[in-house]
Structure 1
Protein backbone atom coordinates (compact mmCIF):
# COMPACT_ATOMS: atom_id res chain seq x y z
CA UNK A 1 0.00 0.00 0.00
CA UNK A 2 2.80 2.42 0.71
CA UNK A 3 3.96 5.13 3.00
CA UNK A 4 1.91 6.59 5.88
CA UNK A 5 2.88 9.87 7.42
CA UNK A 6 1.69 12.95 9.30
CA UNK A 7 2.21 16.64 8.71
CA UNK A 8 0.62 19.81 9.98
CA UNK A 9 -0.85 22.84 8.26
CA UNK A 10 -0.70 26.04 10.28
CA UNK A 11 -3.29 28.71 9.57
CA UNK A 12 -3.69 31.75 11.80
CA UNK A 13 -3.36 30.54 15.36
CA UNK A 14 -4.79 27.12 14.51
CA UNK A 15 -3.33 23.88 13.20
CA UNK A 16 -4.78 21.01 11.19
CA UNK A 17 -2.98 17.66 11.00
CA UNK A 18 -2.92 15.69 7.76
CA UNK A 19 -2.35 11.93 7.71
CA UNK A 20 -1.70 10.40 4.30
CA UNK A 21 -1.01 6.99 2.84
CA UNK A 22 0.73 6.99 -0.53
CA UNK A 23 1.06 4.01 -2.84
CA UNK A 24 4.75 4.09 -3.72
CA UNK A 25 4.13 2.09 -6.91
CA UNK A 26 2.42 5.01 -8.62
CA UNK A 27 2.67 7.80 -6.01
CA UNK A 28 -1.10 7.94 -5.64
CA UNK A 29 -2.52 9.21 -2.37
CA UNK A 30 -4.66 6.22 -1.43
CA UNK A 31 -6.21 7.65 1.73
CA UNK A 32 -5.98 10.73 3.89
CA UNK A 33 -7.63 12.29 6.90
CA UNK A 34 -7.44 15.74 8.47
CA UNK A 35 -8.16 16.37 12.13
CA UNK A 36 -7.43 19.19 14.54
CA UNK A 37 -5.28 16.82 16.62
CA UNK A 38 -2.48 14.35 16.00
CA UNK A 39 -3.76 11.55 18.17
CA UNK A 40 -4.01 7.85 17.32
CA UNK A 41 -7.43 7.96 15.57
CA UNK A 42 -5.97 10.24 12.89
CA UNK A 43 -3.51 7.60 11.65
CA UNK A 44 -5.68 4.52 12.33
CA UNK A 45 -8.67 6.06 10.53
CA UNK A 46 -6.44 6.82 7.55
CA UNK A 47 -5.24 3.21 7.43
CA UNK A 48 -8.81 1.90 7.78
CA UNK A 49 -9.86 4.07 4.83
CA UNK A 50 -6.96 2.76 2.73
CA UNK A 51 -7.85 -0.82 3.63
CA UNK A 52 -11.48 -0.29 2.63
CA UNK A 53 -10.55 1.40 -0.66
CA UNK A 54 -8.04 -1.31 -1.54
CA UNK A 55 -10.37 -4.13 -0.43
CA UNK A 56 -8.22 -5.34 2.48
CA UNK A 57 -5.05 -6.38 0.65
CA UNK A 58 -2.82 -8.93 2.37
CA UNK A 59 0.96 -8.98 2.42
CA UNK A 60 1.34 -5.38 1.28
CA UNK A 61 4.19 -3.41 2.87
CA UNK A 62 3.06 -0.39 4.87
CA UNK A 63 5.76 2.06 5.93
CA UNK A 64 5.42 4.50 8.82
CA UNK A 65 7.49 6.44 11.27
CA UNK A 66 7.98 5.47 14.89
CA UNK A 67 6.00 7.28 17.54
CA UNK A 68 3.30 6.99 20.12
CA UNK A 69 0.39 7.58 17.73
CA UNK A 70 1.62 4.67 15.60
CA UNK A 71 1.36 1.96 18.30
CA UNK A 72 -2.30 1.16 17.57
CA UNK A 73 -1.55 1.71 13.87
CA UNK A 74 1.06 -1.06 13.97
CA UNK A 75 -1.44 -3.35 15.71
CA UNK A 76 -3.95 -2.66 12.91
CA UNK A 77 -1.24 -3.38 10.32
CA UNK A 78 -0.61 -6.82 11.87
CA UNK A 79 -4.31 -7.56 12.32
CA UNK A 80 -4.88 -6.70 8.64
CA UNK A 81 -2.12 -9.11 7.51
CA UNK A 82 0.04 -6.31 6.15
CA UNK A 83 3.82 -6.14 6.44
CA UNK A 84 5.16 -3.36 8.64
CA UNK A 85 8.13 -1.21 7.73
CA UNK A 86 9.28 1.57 10.05
CA UNK A 87 11.75 4.39 9.78
CA UNK A 88 14.87 4.31 11.81
CA UNK A 89 15.07 6.97 14.48
CA UNK A 90 16.20 10.36 13.17
CA UNK A 91 16.50 9.14 9.59
CA UNK A 92 14.41 11.44 7.42
CA UNK A 93 15.54 9.78 4.15
CA UNK A 94 13.26 6.81 4.81
CA UNK A 95 10.26 9.10 4.24
CA UNK A 96 11.56 11.28 1.41
CA UNK A 97 8.71 10.59 -1.05
CA UNK A 98 5.86 11.37 1.33
CA UNK A 99 7.76 14.31 2.87
CA UNK A 100 8.19 15.71 -0.64
CA UNK A 101 4.43 15.38 -1.22
CA UNK A 102 3.68 17.17 2.06
CA UNK A 103 6.13 19.92 1.15
CA UNK A 104 4.45 20.30 -2.25
CA UNK A 105 0.98 20.50 -0.79
CA UNK A 106 2.06 23.22 1.61
CA UNK A 107 3.93 25.29 -0.95
CA UNK A 108 1.70 24.54 -3.93
CA UNK A 109 -1.74 24.88 -2.45
CA UNK A 110 -1.13 27.32 0.38
CA UNK A 111 1.72 29.47 -0.93
CA UNK A 112 -0.42 32.45 -1.96
CA UNK A 113 -3.14 32.14 0.67
CA UNK A 114 -3.45 34.38 3.70
CA UNK A 115 -3.50 31.78 6.45
CA UNK A 116 -4.81 34.23 9.03
CA UNK A 117 -8.09 34.60 7.15
CA UNK A 118 -8.78 30.88 6.63
CA UNK A 119 -11.13 28.62 8.55
CA UNK A 120 -10.54 24.88 9.04
CA UNK A 121 -13.23 23.95 6.49
CA UNK A 122 -11.37 26.01 3.88
CA UNK A 123 -8.09 24.26 4.74
CA UNK A 124 -9.74 20.84 4.36
CA UNK A 125 -11.27 21.85 1.00
CA UNK A 126 -7.90 23.13 -0.29
CA UNK A 127 -6.28 19.81 0.67
CA UNK A 128 -9.11 17.87 -1.02
CA UNK A 129 -8.64 19.90 -4.23
CA UNK A 130 -4.88 19.43 -4.21
CA UNK A 131 -5.02 15.68 -3.65
CA UNK A 132 -7.57 15.28 -6.46
CA UNK A 133 -5.25 17.31 -8.71
CA UNK A 134 -2.20 15.31 -7.59
CA UNK A 135 -3.85 11.92 -8.25
CA UNK A 136 -5.85 12.76 -11.37
CA UNK A 137 -4.14 15.60 -13.26
CA UNK A 138 -0.50 16.05 -12.25
CA UNK A 139 1.80 14.11 -14.56
CA UNK A 140 5.03 12.64 -13.24
CA UNK A 141 8.13 12.05 -15.35
CA UNK A 142 8.98 8.88 -13.43
CA UNK A 143 5.57 7.48 -14.41
CA UNK A 144 6.18 8.03 -18.11
CA UNK A 145 4.38 11.40 -18.05
CA UNK A 146 1.18 9.86 -16.74
CA UNK A 147 -0.81 10.80 -13.68
CA UNK A 148 -0.69 8.44 -10.69
CA UNK A 149 -4.19 7.14 -11.48
CA UNK A 150 -3.43 6.66 -15.18
CA UNK A 151 -0.24 4.76 -14.36
CA UNK A 152 -2.04 2.56 -11.84
CA UNK A 153 -4.88 1.82 -14.27
CA UNK A 154 -2.43 1.02 -17.06
CA UNK A 155 -0.53 -1.41 -14.81
CA UNK A 156 -3.72 -3.19 -13.68
Structure 2
Protein backbone atom coordinates (compact mmCIF):
# COMPACT_ATOMS: atom_id res chain seq x y z
CA UNK A 1 0.00 0.00 0.00
CA UNK A 2 2.78 2.43 0.97
CA UNK A 3 4.73 1.52 -2.15
CA UNK A 4 1.70 2.28 -4.28
CA UNK A 5 1.31 5.71 -2.64
CA UNK A 6 4.99 6.43 -3.18
CA UNK A 7 4.66 5.49 -6.87
CA UNK A 8 1.58 7.66 -7.25
CA UNK A 9 3.31 10.58 -5.52
CA UNK A 10 6.44 10.05 -7.59
CA UNK A 11 4.48 9.90 -10.80
CA UNK A 12 2.38 12.92 -9.87
CA UNK A 13 5.50 15.08 -9.35
CA UNK A 14 7.25 14.08 -12.54
CA UNK A 15 7.04 16.49 -15.44
CA UNK A 16 4.87 15.35 -18.23
CA UNK A 17 3.89 16.88 -21.56
CA UNK A 18 0.45 15.28 -21.32
CA UNK A 19 -0.72 17.53 -18.47
CA UNK A 20 -1.20 21.28 -18.44
CA UNK A 21 1.66 23.50 -17.27
CA UNK A 22 -0.08 24.49 -14.03
CA UNK A 23 -0.08 20.83 -12.93
CA UNK A 24 3.63 20.61 -13.64
CA UNK A 25 4.19 23.57 -11.31
CA UNK A 26 2.52 21.73 -8.46
CA UNK A 27 5.47 19.36 -8.28
CA UNK A 28 7.63 22.34 -7.08
CA UNK A 29 5.40 23.04 -4.05
CA UNK A 30 7.09 20.52 -1.71
CA UNK A 31 10.52 21.85 -2.73
CA UNK A 32 9.33 25.42 -2.22
CA UNK A 33 7.93 24.56 1.19
CA UNK A 34 11.22 22.94 2.15
CA UNK A 35 13.15 26.00 0.96
CA UNK A 36 10.81 28.32 2.88
CA UNK A 37 11.15 26.16 5.98
CA UNK A 38 14.95 26.18 5.62
CA UNK A 39 14.91 29.98 5.21
CA UNK A 40 12.72 30.36 8.28
CA UNK A 41 15.05 28.07 10.22
CA UNK A 42 18.12 30.03 9.06
CA UNK A 43 16.44 33.31 10.03
CA UNK A 44 15.62 31.85 13.42
CA UNK A 45 19.22 30.66 13.77
CA UNK A 46 20.50 34.14 12.87
CA UNK A 47 18.14 35.63 15.42
CA UNK A 48 19.44 33.21 18.03
CA UNK A 49 23.02 34.06 17.10
CA UNK A 50 22.27 37.81 17.35
CA UNK A 51 20.65 37.31 20.74
CA UNK A 52 23.58 35.21 21.92
CA UNK A 53 26.06 37.83 20.70
CA UNK A 54 24.09 40.54 22.53
CA UNK A 55 24.16 38.47 25.71
CA UNK A 56 27.89 37.83 25.29
CA UNK A 57 28.51 41.58 24.78
CA UNK A 58 26.41 42.44 27.85
CA UNK A 59 28.22 39.83 29.93
CA UNK A 60 31.57 41.18 28.70
CA UNK A 61 30.58 44.74 29.63
CA UNK A 62 29.44 43.60 33.08
CA UNK A 63 32.69 41.69 33.55
CA UNK A 64 34.64 44.76 32.40
CA UNK A 65 32.82 46.97 34.94
CA UNK A 66 33.44 44.41 37.68
CA UNK A 67 37.11 44.27 36.72
CA UNK A 68 37.39 48.06 36.86
CA UNK A 69 35.68 48.10 40.27
CA UNK A 70 37.93 45.33 41.53
CA UNK A 71 40.98 47.19 40.20
CA UNK A 72 39.91 50.39 41.97
CA UNK A 73 39.27 48.47 45.20
CA UNK A 74 42.67 46.79 44.89
CA UNK A 75 44.36 50.18 44.48
CA UNK A 76 42.52 51.49 47.57
CA UNK A 77 43.49 48.38 49.50
CA UNK A 78 47.14 48.67 48.47
CA UNK A 79 47.13 52.35 49.42
CA UNK A 80 45.73 51.47 52.86
CA UNK A 81 48.34 48.74 53.25
CA UNK A 82 51.02 51.28 52.36
CA UNK A 83 49.68 53.65 55.03
CA UNK A 84 49.55 50.86 57.60
CA UNK A 85 53.11 49.87 56.71
CA UNK A 86 54.29 53.44 57.28
CA UNK A 87 52.49 53.61 60.63
CA UNK A 88 54.03 50.30 61.66
CA UNK A 89 57.48 51.54 60.68
CA UNK A 90 56.99 54.65 62.81
CA UNK A 91 55.73 52.57 65.73
CA UNK A 92 58.62 50.14 65.45
CA UNK A 93 61.20 52.91 65.32
CA UNK A 94 59.53 54.50 68.35
CA UNK A 95 59.59 51.17 70.19
CA UNK A 96 63.26 50.56 69.39
CA UNK A 97 64.44 54.05 70.39
CA UNK A 98 66.79 54.02 73.33
CA UNK A 99 65.62 57.41 74.62
CA UNK A 100 61.90 56.64 74.78
CA UNK A 101 59.86 59.30 76.48
CA UNK A 102 58.45 58.56 79.88
CA UNK A 103 54.82 59.27 80.59
CA UNK A 104 55.63 62.39 82.62
CA UNK A 105 57.74 63.89 79.83
CA UNK A 106 55.01 62.91 77.39
CA UNK A 107 52.45 64.95 79.38
CA UNK A 108 54.90 67.83 79.57
CA UNK A 109 55.50 67.72 75.82
CA UNK A 110 51.74 67.57 75.26
CA UNK A 111 51.29 70.77 77.31
CA UNK A 112 54.06 72.45 75.32
CA UNK A 113 52.44 71.46 72.05
CA UNK A 114 49.07 72.74 73.28
CA UNK A 115 50.70 76.08 74.20
CA UNK A 116 52.29 76.27 70.74
CA UNK A 117 48.93 75.53 69.15
CA UNK A 118 47.25 78.30 71.17
CA UNK A 119 49.97 80.76 70.17
CA UNK A 120 49.56 79.81 66.51
CA UNK A 121 45.79 80.28 66.78
CA UNK A 122 46.27 83.72 68.37
CA UNK A 123 48.78 84.68 65.68
CA UNK A 124 46.39 83.53 62.95
CA UNK A 125 43.54 85.57 64.46
CA UNK A 126 45.80 88.61 64.82
CA UNK A 127 47.01 88.26 61.21
CA UNK A 128 43.42 88.01 59.99
CA UNK A 129 42.45 91.11 61.98
CA UNK A 130 45.45 93.06 60.66
CA UNK A 131 44.62 92.02 57.09
CA UNK A 132 40.97 93.05 57.53
CA UNK A 133 42.00 96.39 59.07
CA UNK A 134 44.43 97.14 56.24
CA UNK A 135 41.87 96.13 53.63
CA UNK A 136 39.18 98.38 55.20
CA UNK A 137 41.70 101.23 55.47
CA UNK A 138 42.67 100.97 51.78
CA UNK A 139 39.03 100.67 50.72
CA UNK A 140 38.12 103.71 52.81
CA UNK A 141 40.96 105.75 51.30
CA UNK A 142 39.94 104.76 47.78
CA UNK A 143 36.34 105.67 48.59
CA UNK A 144 37.43 109.08 49.90
CA UNK A 145 39.55 109.72 46.80
CA UNK A 146 36.65 108.75 44.55
CA UNK A 147 34.21 111.04 46.40
CA UNK A 148 36.65 113.97 46.26
CA UNK A 149 37.19 113.40 42.53
CA UNK A 150 33.45 113.31 41.81
CA UNK A 151 32.86 116.40 43.96
CA UNK A 152 35.56 118.33 42.13
CA UNK A 153 34.12 117.29 38.75
CA UNK A 154 30.60 118.19 39.93
CA UNK A 155 31.71 121.62 41.22
CA UNK A 156 33.55 122.39 37.96
CA UNK A 157 30.53 121.49 35.88
CA UNK A 158 28.24 123.50 38.11
CA UNK A 159 30.48 126.52 37.85
CA UNK A 160 30.63 126.16 34.04
CA UNK A 161 26.84 126.06 33.74
| Same structural fold, with TM-score higher than 0.5 when normalized by the shorter chain | no
> By percentage of residues, which structure has more strand?
1
Give the structure with higher Rg (CA): 2
TM-score bin (small chain): under 0.3
TM-score by length of 2: 0.14
Which structure's residues are more often helix, by fraction? 2
